[in-house]
Amino acid sequence: MEYGEDTTSVDGCSHSSPSSTRDVTVSTQSPSKLPEPEEVPSDKMAKKVRRWEVFPGKNKFHCNGRIMMARQTGIFYLTCTLIIVTSGLFFGFDCVYLAQHVTPAIPAIGGALFIFVMATLFRTSFSDPGVIPRASLDEAAELERQMEVPNAGSPGTYRPPPRTKEVVIKGQVVKLKYCFTCKLFRPPRASHCSLCDNCVDRFDHHCPWVGNCVGKRNYRYFYLFILSLSVHCIYIFACVLTNLILRAQQDNFLTAMKESPASVIEAIVCFFSVWSIVGLAGFHSYLVASELTTNEDIKGSFTARRGADSFNPYSKGSIFKNCSQVLCGPVPPSLLDRRGYVVPDSSQAHHTGNMGTNTAPDLPPPAVVTTADEMLPAGENVKKREMISYQTPDGTINNKLPPLNGTSSPPTCGGRKNHIWDMTLNQLNYMGRSNNHAAIHGTNPGSVYPQPYRHSDYLSGTSVLPAVKGNKSTMSRGCSTDF
């Protein structure tokens, strides 16, 4: 589950997984090829790493994995500040006057609304939106094997594997797209968020105001947040006007404003925000009533325009049932075992009893690179990184290293520019080990992953590229440009 569930002590506060240069040793698939486990001192081998630290997406984690947010959280802090400051001014100034002259219920109701707004905001922002963990290597290999079989008839020609699968849900044909980053066919209604680099179940949208994606697990908190915030906004506005009017009865309006300048500030903030917040709440009320996501609404997936037969197969039929389902329906726990430990020697993680929702550690193999970094003094590690310039998949040379995503090496070969960076780092590896890429992928290039990301293609520089934003040639394939 999300934050705060664990009552054990929290180790320190906010540190994001990519922020430290501490690297982790993760399991490899062919231990016989890699000599390092014996070379590393036993205390390093015993160092336990939590799974959030090697999470392949671009999320930031806090409180030792209990809190999960998007990478860019500046606007979230703005949201918090606006709400807290405005409410603070309200309680500090208007409530004092109104509690005396009208009723003490006013601050009480305001307080309850404020608590509800903040609780739902934190729930939305800090929880796992419904991220679908990336497929394990075995699953990816199996999918690739299944997709390759139909192509066996034409050995000479290169035909890309099928990227979509069709499924009929309650009479409606729905296309499931293959996600090249996560190596799975996305369930219906799931979508890949390019900002967080995760597939999210029942993806609604990525909201910078809450600093997180809005998906299956936190949609209802998001909806209740904007609903309660609109009520709170209108409530404060009404109370502020009441305050000013009551004061103006003794004098005039201008004097009232001078006596209570905080009210003026609150009125301005509320007036300008109420339009957008109420508008958004109204829009999402429509979505909840029709059992649609923002994503589906914008794409027009189930409108009559698409075809006379197009209907929403997920709708329960009535507004009441749809609302009940969205707001009161069951919510699965997080499928990411963020606080579990990574087990170095096998392909499965050790279960720490977090919720019975362990996921496969698709974290593959090779952070062997990082073992080398561990062996070097930290200062040298930094210098080594600075020495490297890397070539992005679109061919430009960049002297700035891509940020660590919480993994020291990419989870998969396919579609990640970090992959090239890591290959270069491998080649600079002082331990003189053979290129770990071979160890990662086996000696048979392209045998593990779906065709477009053959190892040989990467090396030869053919333009089989991940979907980098703006890279039109691969947009049809790339899941990261997929909305």
Partner 1 sequence: MDNMARLSSSQCTKVFLQRDFTEGTGVRFQNKFPQELEGKIDRAILERTINTVNSIYLEAESLSGRTYCESCFACMTAYIAYLCMDTHYEKCLKKVARYIEEQNKTVFVQQGLMLVDPAERGLRVFEICILTEQQNR
| Residues assigned a catalytic role | 207
Dihedral Cα 311, 317, 322, 325, nearest 10 deg:
-100
Residue 467 CA to residue 463 CA, distance in Å, equals 11
Contacts of 437 (CB under 8 A, 6+ apart): 413, 423, 426, 455
Burial of 135 (0-12, 13-18, 19+ CB in 10 A): buried
Long-range residue pairs from 85-90, CB within 8 A, at least 24 positions apart, any chain: 86/236, 86/265, 86/266, 86/269, 86/270, 87/114, 87/232, 87/236, 89/262, 89/265, 89/266, 90/236, 90/239, 90/240, 90/262, 90/266
Candidates 67-75, 164-172, 385-393, 421-429 — which segment interacts with partner 1 by CB under 8 A?
164-172
Q: For partner 1, which residue of 330, 377, 395, 432 counts as binding (CB under 8 A)?
A: 330
Q: For partner 1, which residue of 261, 282, 307, 332 counts as binding (CB under 8 A)?
A: 332
Q: Residue 464: CA atoms inside 13 Å, Cβ hemisphere, count?
A: 20
Q: For partner 1, which residue of 50, 51, 62, 123 counts as binding (CB under 8 A)?
A: 123
Candidates 186-194, 281-289, 368-376, 463-471 — which segment interacts with partner 1 by CB under 8 A?
186-194
| Residue 164 interacts with partner 1 (CB under 8 A): yes or no | no
Cβ distance to partner 1 smaller for residue 23 or 362: 362
* Contact (CB, 8 A) for 126 and 2: yes
| Residue 119 interacts with partner 1 (CB under 8 A): yes or no | yes
Cβ distance to partner 1 smaller for residue 267 or 336: 336
DSSP per-residue codes, 222-282:
HHHHHHHHHHHHHHHHHHHHHHHHHHHHHS-HHHHHHH-HHHHHHHHHHHHHHHHHHHHHH
| Residue 450 interacts with partner 1 (CB under 8 A): yes or no | no
The least distance separating partner 1 from the CB of residue 25, rounded to whole angstroms, comes to 16
| Residue 212 interacts with partner 1 (CB under 8 A): yes or no | no
Cβ distance to partner 1 smaller for residue 177 or 384: 177
E strand or H helix at 169, and its extent? strand 164-169
The least distance separating partner 1 from the CB of residue 304, rounded to whole angstroms, comes to 21
Residues 254-271, buried b or exposed e (16+ Cβ, 10 A)? eebeebbebbebbbebbe
Number of residues lying near partner 1 (CB under 8 A)? 61
| Residue 139 interacts with partner 1 (CB under 8 A): yes or no | yes
Q: Tokens standing for 151? A: 């192509």
The least distance separating partner 1 from the CB of residue 119, rounded to whole angstroms, comes to 4
| Residue 284 interacts with partner 1 (CB under 8 A): yes or no | no
Candidates 85-93, 243-251, 276-284, 343-351 — which segment interacts with partner 1 by CB under 8 A?
343-351
| Residue 174 interacts with partner 1 (CB under 8 A): yes or no | yes
| Residue 319 interacts with partner 1 (CB under 8 A): yes or no | no
Q: For partner 1, which residue of 350, 384, 385, 433 counts as binding (CB under 8 A)?
A: 350
Residues 154-191, buried b or exposed e (16+ Cβ, 10 A)? eeeeeeebebeeeeeeeebebebbbbbbbbbbbeebbb
* Contact (CB, 8 A) for 354 and 64: no
| Residue 208 interacts with partner 1 (CB under 8 A): yes or no | no
Cβ distance to partner 1 smaller for residue 68 or 184: 184
The least distance separating partner 1 from the CB of residue 418, rounded to whole angstroms, comes to 22
Q: For partner 1, which residue of 13, 254, 308, 328 counts as binding (CB under 8 A)?
A: 328
The least distance separating partner 1 from the CB of residue 331, rounded to whole angstroms, comes to 6
Q: For partner 1, which residue of 10, 45, 75, 176 counts as binding (CB under 8 A)?
A: 176
Q: Residue 434's CB: how many other CB atoms inside 10 A?
A: 11
Residue 1 CA to residue 336 CA, distance in Å, equals 9
Cβ distance to partner 1 smaller for residue 161 or 187: 187
Contacting positions for partner 1 (CB under 8 A): 1-2, 4-5, 27, 29-30, 115-116, 119-120, 123, 132-133, 135-139, 142, 167-170, 174, 176, 184-185, 187-189, 201-202, 221, 224, 313-314, 324-325, 327-333, 335-336, 343, 345-348, 350-351, 355-360
